[in-house]
Chains A and B, each alone.
Chain A
C-alpha cells in the first residue's frame, strides 16, 4: 500500500462531511453538545465512546433520523440539515441489520435500487455485483431468517453498498457477532472499503475495533467530542485524562510542575520519592497542576535500580495476572498506590522470575511519560 498524505493534514482539502456546532436535546437531556467535526473523502472514521455518550445520536443525525436542535450538517458542500433520510446520499447499516424479513436477500438489496427507479436489468446486475463483492452470491434467494449472523451482516452491508452512497454509516456493525468472527470481519470490512472507496463512518463502543479499522477516531464523552486523531495519536498522545483512561490502561500520577525547559517539563509528585522528568514540549508555569500518564507496557519492572535518566518508582508485587503472552504486574508503591506494568513473557523459564511480595523497581523513559493538563 502506498502512503498518500492524509487528507486531514492537508489544509487545502475540503471535508466531505461537516458538523457545524451541532447539538441535540431530548427534553432536558443534552445528547449531543456543540459538535464540530470534519470527515474527509475515503476515510474510515470511528465515533468511539461508552453507551449514552451521544455517538449514536450523532450518527442518526447524519442519516437524517433525528433533526439537530442547533447547528448544521453538510455533506459534499450541501446543507442537508433539513433533508429527509430518503433524499440523503447516505446509507446506514443498522446494529440489528434491519433486513426485511419478508423479502429474499436479493429482494432486500433490490429494494433501495427500486426506489431510485432503475430499470430491472440494471437492478439485477447491481444486485449480483454487490452480492459477489460480499461473497453471498449463492444466497440470493434465501430469506434473512435462513442466514447466520455473519451472513446477515454481509447482506446488510451489500444492501447499503448497492446504493453507491457518498457515505456509509455503520452502527455497531459487528456487535452481534462472536469474537472470532468479529476479528475476521473487521479486516474484511476494511478491505471492502478499500476497494469501493466509499467513506465509512462507524459507531462503536469497542476500542479494539476502532483501533483496528479506523483511519481516524473521534472519542466522545457526555455529548462532546473529546479528541479526534489517528489510532496512534489517540493511544500514544491522549490529550486528556478521559481519553487516556478510556483507551487502553493508564497509570496516572497527580503532581505540579516544578520546572520547565526546552527539554521538557519536570513534575513534582508527592506520591513518588523523586521528581518526574518528561519530554513535554509545552512550557508550563511552575506550580501548574498536571497529571503524568504512563502506559503499563512502557514500564519496565525489575529487581535492580534503573539507569540514570530514567524515571522510577519503588514498590512490591501485589498481584500477577498471567495472560500467556504477557503478564500484568500490579505493584503496590511505598505510598500504597497500585500501578500496573506489563511485560512480554519472552522465554519459557525466567531465572529471576518475580513473585508475590518481591521488592521491585518500576522505571520508564521520560519520552514515555505524558503530561496531561485536562
Chain B
C-alpha cells in the first residue's frame, strides 16, 4: 500500500509541472499565480510568431534528415560490432561509437564547432553555420544511440537465421536485405524515433553549431525563457504534449493491432 502511495508520488512529481503549464497556457494573465480568466491568446500569439514557426520548420527538417543519417550509419555500426568479431581497429571503432553516450554535450558542441571552423579555413566547407552543420552534429551524436538500440536487437536475434539463409544459397547482401533487415526493423524505427527526439530537443549542441541564419526551435525557446516566464511557451508546451500523446496513442494502437 505504501508502495503505491510512493508510486503515485513519483507520477505526481513527473506530471504536475506539465499539467501546471498546460493549465496556465489558457491563463489570460501573464502571472503564474494569478488566474486572469480563460484565454487562447497565447496560442494565437505563438502561431502568428513567424520566428517561432520558421524555427519549428527548420527543427523538423533537421530532425528528419539527421535521424535518417544516424539510423543508416548507426545500423551499419551495430552490424559491424555484433557480427564482425575481430578486425583491425575494433577497439578504436567501439570506443568512437560508445563515447558520445557519455560525452557532455558542451564538449561535443565545442569540438564540432571548432572542427567546422577549421574545415572552413582549410577547404571552404561548410560555409558558415547553417542547417548542414546542425544536421552533421545531430547525426553524429544520435548515431551512437541508434547503435545501442539496434545492437541489442541484433544481439538477441538468433544467429542461425542468417546462417540458414546463407545455407539456402543466399549471398551475404541478400541475407542482410531479406532476413536481417526485416527482423531488426522495429529496432530501426525505435532508433530513428530516438534520434529524431534527441535532435528536435537539442539546445546545447545546436547553440554551438547553429548560426544567426539558422536557429532551430529549442534555441529560440531557450533565448526566450532565459529572460524569464513567457506564457506563449506554455502554449507551445501544451501543443507538444498533445502531439506526443496522440503519437503514443497511435503507436499503441498499431502495436496492439499487430498482436
Looking at the complex, which one of B158, B182, B183 makes contact with A96 (CB distance below 8 Å)? B158
Q: In whole angstroms, how far apart are the Cα atoms of A92 and B168 in the complex?
A: 8
Q: Are B183 and A101 in contact (CB under 8 A)?
A: yes
Smallest CB gap from B182: residue in A: A102
Q: Are A94 and B163 in contact (CB under 8 A)?
A: yes
Q: Are B166 and A84 in contact (CB under 8 A)?
A: yes
Q: Are A86 and B169 in contact (CB under 8 A)?
A: yes
B161 in contact (CB, < 8 A): yes
Contact with A along B150-173 (1 / 0, CB 8 A): 000000001011011111111100
B179 in contact (CB, < 8 A): yes
Smallest CB gap from B171: residue in A: A86
**Chain A, interface size: which category?**
20 to 34
Q: Which residues of A contact B168 (CB under 8 A)?
A: 86, 91, 111-112, 115, 159, 163
Smallest CB gap from B163: residue in A: A65
Q: Are B170 and A111 in contact (CB under 8 A)?
A: yes
Q: Are B179 and A100 in contact (CB under 8 A)?
A: yes
Q: Are B170 and A86 in contact (CB under 8 A)?
A: yes
Q: Are A163 and B183 in contact (CB under 8 A)?
A: no
A98 in contact (CB, < 8 A): yes
Smallest CB gap from B174: residue in A: A115
Q: Are A100 and B161 in contact (CB under 8 A)?
A: yes
Contact with B along A59-95 (1 / 0, CB 8 A): 0000111000000000000000000111100111011
Q: Which residues of B contact A96 (CB under 8 A)?
A: 158, 160
Q: Are B161 and A112 in contact (CB under 8 A)?
A: no
Instruction: Count chain B CB atoms within 10 A of each CB in A84, A100, A116 and give the residue with the most.
Output: A100
Q: Which residues of A contact B158 (CB under 8 A)?
A: 96, 98
Q: In whole angstroms, how far apart are the Cα atoms of A223 and B164 in the complex?
A: 25
Q: Are B169 and A98 in contact (CB under 8 A)?
A: no
Smallest CB gap from A159: residue in B: B168
Q: In whole angstroms, how far apart are the Cα atoms of A102 and B258 in the complex?
A: 13
Q: In whole angstroms, how far apart are the Cα atoms of A102 and B186 in the complex?
A: 12
Q: In whole angstroms, how far apart are the Cα atoms of A101 and B156 in the complex?
A: 14
Looking at the complex, which one of B160, B166, B182, B183 makes contact with A86 (CB distance below 8 Å)? B166
Instruction: Count chain B CB atoms within 10 A of each CB in A92, A98, A102, A116 and give the residue with the most.
Output: A98
Q: In whole angstroms, how far apart are the Cα atoms of A128 and B184 in the complex?
A: 30
Q: Which residues of B contact A (CB under 8 A)?
A: 158, 160-161, 163-171, 174, 178-179, 182-183
The 6 A-B pairs with the shortest beta carbon distances in the complex, nearest first, are A112-B168, A115-B169, A98-B164, A98-B160, A94-B160, A85-B166
Contact sample, A vs B, 30 pairs, CB 8 Å cutoff: A63-B163, A63-B167, A64-B167, A65-B167, A85-B163, A85-B166, A86-B166, A86-B167, A86-B168, A86-B170, A91-B168, A92-B167, A95-B160, A96-B158, A96-B160, A98-B160, A98-B163, A100-B161, A100-B165, A101-B183, A102-B182, A102-B183, A111-B165, A111-B168, A112-B168, A115-B168, A115-B169, A115-B170, A163-B168, A163-B169
Instruction: List 5 additional contacts besides A65-B167, A115-B174; criterion CB under 8 Å.
Output: A85-B163, A90-B167, A92-B163, A98-B160, A100-B165
